[in-house]
Structure 1
Amino acid sequence: MVTTVSRSHATAPDTAPRRRRRWRNSFTAYLLIAPAVGYLVVLLLFPLFRGIQLSLTDTKLVNPAGGDFVGAENYTNLMSSGQFWNSLLATLIYTAATVVFAVLLGTAAAVFINRPFRGRAGIRAVMTFPYAMPTVAVALVYVWIYNQSGGVLNNSLGVLGIGQTGWLTDPQWGMFSVVLATVWKVFPFVMLVMLAALQSVPEELYEAAKIDGAGPMSTFRAIVLPHLAPTLRIVALLMTIWSIRRFEIIYLLTGGGPVERTNTLVINIYRRAFSDQDLGVAATIGVLGLVLSILVTLVFFGVERRESRKEAAA
């Protein structure tokens, strides 16, 4: 009994400094993450909650603090609005076309410049150039290219005996023109990411494929594509979310026209907020766009989980 008491008295003084040290470490950890938490709260969470709050009111741009609560009225009105559904359709078309062509072109470019040849560094720099250009500069260049009377594209087609086309004014070509400019701008990002993934493929696998007599296509399907698949899924997710919320290049090229063909959700938000001065409806469209992005992300994680289970089972 005496031994027990003496031991407890001997160890008791050590617990207080240990607790103070633990509290000091915890305080330091919280202090270090405080700026990041503050950034999330001020620049992300507060605008998000404010946007949701605005979507439940009839707030106008001329009186942003004086809107009345209307509940889900904005949402029900949008669900019965043909303009909203046309805007959603334009967003889906633009997103699907941009992601598909940017991923295909970027992956093909990565495979091309991954092979050793003379001048590869220069070609890689040239192919990266569009991504380094400011979006406004890209839009202005393509406005000049698409110009109906003196643009490079129509002049080139005129040499071939093809008539002039209103690339930015003809409803049949508006979406095509915007997608083409966007793909040219963003495909180098896909190329750089896929190039990094390609360079991580072990050389031993290529040598084993050569020994087995596999051709280039068989090697790509059996070795390269399985290594690229996880990176492809992540790139596709990022490109999808960025395409849903892209504004500058669409607005500068067409402003949402011609005939609403490129009036995506983000362009519609701008029009409702600043042209119609209806912040409540604009915030409602923004919330629905956020829901669309969340759904895309959930689908991605579902596919990722399924593929992980397949790889674990194999």
Structure 2
Amino acid sequence: MAVDTRVADKIGSARRGVGVAGPGRPPAAPRKGRGKTPLGRAGKTLALFALPSLILLVLLNVYPVVYSFLQSLQQGTPSTLPWQTPFVGLENYANVLTSESFRNATTFTIVFTVVGVFGSWIVGLALALLLRTRIPANGFFKVLLLLPWIVPVVVSATSWNWLVATPQSPVPIILERLGFPDANFLGDPVLAQVVVCVFKVWISFPFMLMMMSSALASVDTNVYEAAKMDGASAWQAFRGVTLPIISRTTYISWVLMTIFCVNDFPTIFLLTQGGP
């Protein structure tokens, strides 16, 4: 009976955190949670290895931006030394924002971007839906439709310039024989903008064609069969089935094409030489 009492006392002491040797032994100290360890020797070594790349990144990216901004707050010429240019503050920005040429350029950039993004998307999506059907020589047509994007933009712009640049070019001659009035496509400001926008759609729709084709490949044909059995028309199936499934790829394509259009200076310059 005494043995059972001692065993019970030891078990109770263990549960209360008291050592089994007796009440004289101090209870075990609770373990502290492991916090964030300081940067060790390996971390410092990695930081030293990354430091040259970080310095190079700052010199090549951050410094030019800061220097250009400071230069924009001064009034000078390329031949003027930096410390000789007077400080004018935001006057240069005010002159640019209030100039007519800036408004015209901004308006055309918006129109060019909207037409380039949605025009190439509509053409690319339509061709992707067409090539998804079983037509003869499907692979040949896919390669053929990618040529406007594969060919360098310099070659494409030179070809289009030869086609429409002067009244003696092939396109104006054909339109004149069809009864249309003479048109100087690259000499008239409005017609030049139309040609540039159409040319952008021409060289950009293959990119949208590839993006939409990859998105349509993930659409299960059984979904269309189920929609057809429910009495949905082709337009209803496209609007209710196809568009929701390819929406994520569509948004990504729009963002990428918007970036391409906003930054696309070579296309416009090669086609129009900066005018009219």
TM-score range, shorter chain: 0.7 to 0.9
Q: Which runs of 5+ in 1 are unaligned?
A: 9-14, 259-314
Aligned counterpart, 1:142:
160
Q: Which runs of 5+ in 2 are unaligned?
A: 1-24
Work out the CA distance in 2 between the residues paired with 1:207 and 1:26: 58
Distance 1:218 1:60, change over 3 A: same
Deviations 1:155-207, CA, capped at 9 Å, x for gaps: 22133132331100012311001111111011111111111111112233223
Distance 1:24 1:186, change over 3 A: farther
Aligned counterpart, 1:300:
none
Distance 1:110 1:152, change over 3 A: same
**How far 1:129 moved relative to its partner?**
0.8
Aligned counterpart, 2:72:
55
Distance 1:48 1:106, change over 3 A: farther
Work out the CA distance in 2 between the residues paired with 1:39 and 1:112: 49
Q: Which moved more, 1:55-64 or 1:24-33?
A: 24-33
**How far 1:243 moved relative to its partner?**
1.4
| 8 A contact 1:97–1:179 mirrored in 2 | yes
Q: State the AA in 2 paired with 1:57.
A: Q
Aligned counterpart, 1:223:
241
% same residue: 30
Aligned counterpart, 1:114:
132
SS of corresponding position for 2:190: coil
Q: State the AA in 2 paired with 1:45.
A: V
Distance 1:110 1:40, change over 3 A: farther
Distance 1:208 1:250, change over 3 A: same
Tell whether 2:189 aligns with 1:176: no
Aligned counterpart, 2:142:
124
| 8 A contact 1:56–1:71 mirrored in 2 | yes
Aligned counterpart, 2:92:
74
Deviations 1:236-269, CA, capped at 9 Å, x for gaps: 22222221221011112223322xxxxxxxxxxx
Aligned counterpart, 1:289:
none
| 8 A contact 1:98–1:243 mirrored in 2 | yes
**How far 1:76 moved relative to its partner?**
1.5
Q: State the AA in 1 paired with 2:184.
A: G
SS of corresponding position for 1:172: helix
Number of residues of Structure 1 aligned to a counterpart in Structure 2: 249
RMSD (CA atoms): 3.1
**How far 1:99 moved relative to its partner?**
1.8
TM-score (norm 2): 0.77
| 8 A contact 1:139–1:252 mirrored in 2 | yes
**Structure whose CA Rg is larger:** 2
Deviations 1:52-105, CA, capped at 9 Å, x for gaps: 222222242234645443221111122222222122112122222222211211
Distance 1:155 1:117, change over 3 A: same
- Richer in helix (by share): 1
TM-score (norm 1): 0.69
Work out the CA distance in 1 between the residues paired with 2:221 and 2:235: 17
